Amino acid sequence: MSDIFSNKMISIVGVADINNKAVGLLYAKKKGIYTTNNYNDLLKIKDVNPIIELTGDKDVLAEIKKSKPPNIVLIDHFEAMSVWDYLQIEEKLIEIKKDLRKNINVPRKIEKSFNLFSRELTKIVEERTHHLQKIEKELTEKVGALYKVLFDTDPNPIFFIDSKTLKILKVNRRTQEYYQYSEEELLSMSFLELGDNKDDEIMRGLQNLPEDQCAFFSKKRHYKKNHHHFYVNINVCNSKYDGSNAFIATTTDISKSIEKEMQLIQASKMTTLGTMAAGIAHELNQPLNVIQLGADFFLKKIRKGQPITEDELHIVASEINVNVQRAAEIINQLRSFARQPHVAGVKLNINAPIRDVTKILGQQLRVHQIELELKLGNDLPFIIADHNRMLQVFINFVANAMDALDEKGNRLGKKSWKRKLEIKTFLEDGRVKITISDNGIGIPEEIKDKIFEPFFTTKNVGKGTGLGTSISYSIVNEFGGTIDFTSEVNKGTVFELSFPACAPHEP
């Protein structure tokens, strides 16, 4: 065998195996190569490098890795088997070359040598093929077993879904536990049946999904078998199932985080209502005063025994009716604002919640001597959002603008200055945009990167919670929108909200 490596400056200097009858050990002894039953003895041989591990025993491999110096290369079992095949083939070739030199003039012996080499080579190839097939089978079984363990022990529901029909093809154990359906029931359903029937975002989102990309769907409502609903985030990626194209989807329950988010939003709303209380009371006083005057007029006529003419009755009753409706509208707006919002968005004309802001805060703006200008675009496309939650956003921004304008007014004292607030809506580059501009105190440069942080506020204690802008940012982001702003100290601030517009054909 040393002939094999003679031209390559490589030689086998030692073989180790705990089995005295191991083929490799016996072969080495036959060739006069150093043998031992202790693998660590090989490390004592001068200039040994590399060490080839032939047993395929992972414990042996680990032991050698642990004890060998870093400068010694370790060739593992798979690489070693290729080396072993190479050695055997090379040795046979050397033997044939020797026979050829000895029997150069004897054709039959040459033919015999070649036939022998051919048989030996075929035997080696067959043995190696069988060995590789065995390894492949073992690896496939191990991978399959590992996959099954991971699939069934994952804490989240996992689905394999037909990429065309979205029919459920396979589910893990967690899916059955969480949704409370049996495996047979789930395999007879479409993935879409687990959620709201009217929500077609998933179907549209998975159409023509690129192979190298995944789709993410946020805050989707799903239902258990008992019709109890909960909210999930859904991740969907391209995959294979039984050789066919499929999707693999996971759902993550986010109900608790949504509940906490709703509690924060409600807390912020109550704080906002508290700051608006004086203005709301004044707003309600106006229609109540008119109603009181009408009632006093009728009572006065009755006490004096004077007749009430039909014209008087009609005029006073009409005024009372108008102001009762006005008071009812204010109360309904407040009730709507205080109500728990919907999690999922629907098609919304953004001008609607903006107009409602003016109804709720109109009197407040007048009391603070703020000139409000609305520039609402006509025929704007819908966006996907929730009216009540967007109302919360706009109330937060308008309330902050009022504070900024008041602060500047306090600094200027009695100087002549008009407090201005402008809300504008328009369509630009396929997005519905809203700008809220004021000429107030502005935002200092050093705090611009903090204004969307929870609980950050520049207001006095008891004046603000620091939740308004943070919650507004979260709501806008949830509906696919963005918030940006520009501000200059003592000149004012402009907030710009941007939302993707619904296509005209979208349901």
Given a cut of 90, is residue 48 above it in pLDDT?
no
Q: What are the pLDDT digits (tens) for 166-193?
A: 999 999 989 999 999 999 999 999 999 9
Between 136 and 429, the higher pLDDT residue: 429
d(CA 456, CA 479): 23
For residues 352-370, give the mean pLDDT.
Answer: 86
For residues 127-132, give the mean pLDDT.
Answer: 63
Q: What are the pLDDT digits (tens) for 52-79?
A: 776 767 777 788 888 888 777 777 666 6
Among 41-50, 102-111, 258-267, 380-389, which is the least confidently predicted range? 102-111
Q: How many other CB atoms are there within 10 angstroms of residue 363's CB atom? A: 20
pLDDT recorded at residue 234: 93
Helix (H) or strand (E) holding 424: strand 419-428
Pick the closest to residue 495 from 481, 484, 503, 505 (CA basis): 484
Given a cut of 90, is residue 431 above it in pLDDT?
yes
pLDDT recorded at residue 461: 47
CATH T-level topology, domain 258-500: Heat Shock Protein 90 (3.30.565)
User: Can you count the helices (H) and strands (E) in the chain?
Assistant: 13, 16
Between 352 and 468, the higher pLDDT residue: 352
pLDDT recorded at residue 25: 82
pLDDT recorded at residue 277: 66
Report the b/e string of 261-291 with b at 16+ CB within 10 A.
beeebeebbebbeeebeebbeebbeebeebb
Q: Average pLDDT, whole number, for the chain?
A: 80
> In which band, very low, low, confident or very high, does the pLDDT at 414 lie, cut at 50, 70 and 90?
low
Between 334 and 45, the higher pLDDT residue: 45
Global pTM reads: 0.51
For residues 257-274, give the mean pLDDT.
Answer: 73
For residues 430-452, give the mean pLDDT.
Answer: 88
Q: Does the domain at residues 154-253 carry the CATH identifier 1.20.1560.10?
A: no
What residue segments make up the domains of the chain, in order of their start? 2-150, 154-253, 258-500
Q: What are the pLDDT digits (tens) for 223-263?
A: 999 989 999 999 999 988 888 889 999 999 998 888 887 77
Q: What are the pLDDT digits (tens) for 275-315?
A: 666 667 767 777 888 888 888 888 988 888 888 888 888 88
Q: What are the pLDDT digits (tens) for 373-386?
A: 999 999 899 999 98
pLDDT over 90 for what percent of the chain?
Answer: 22
pLDDT recorded at residue 7: 47
Pairing of strands 492-500, 482-488: antiparallel
Residues 437, 438, 439: CA angle, nearest 5 degrees: 135
Q: Are 214 and 234 in contact (CB under 8 A)?
A: no
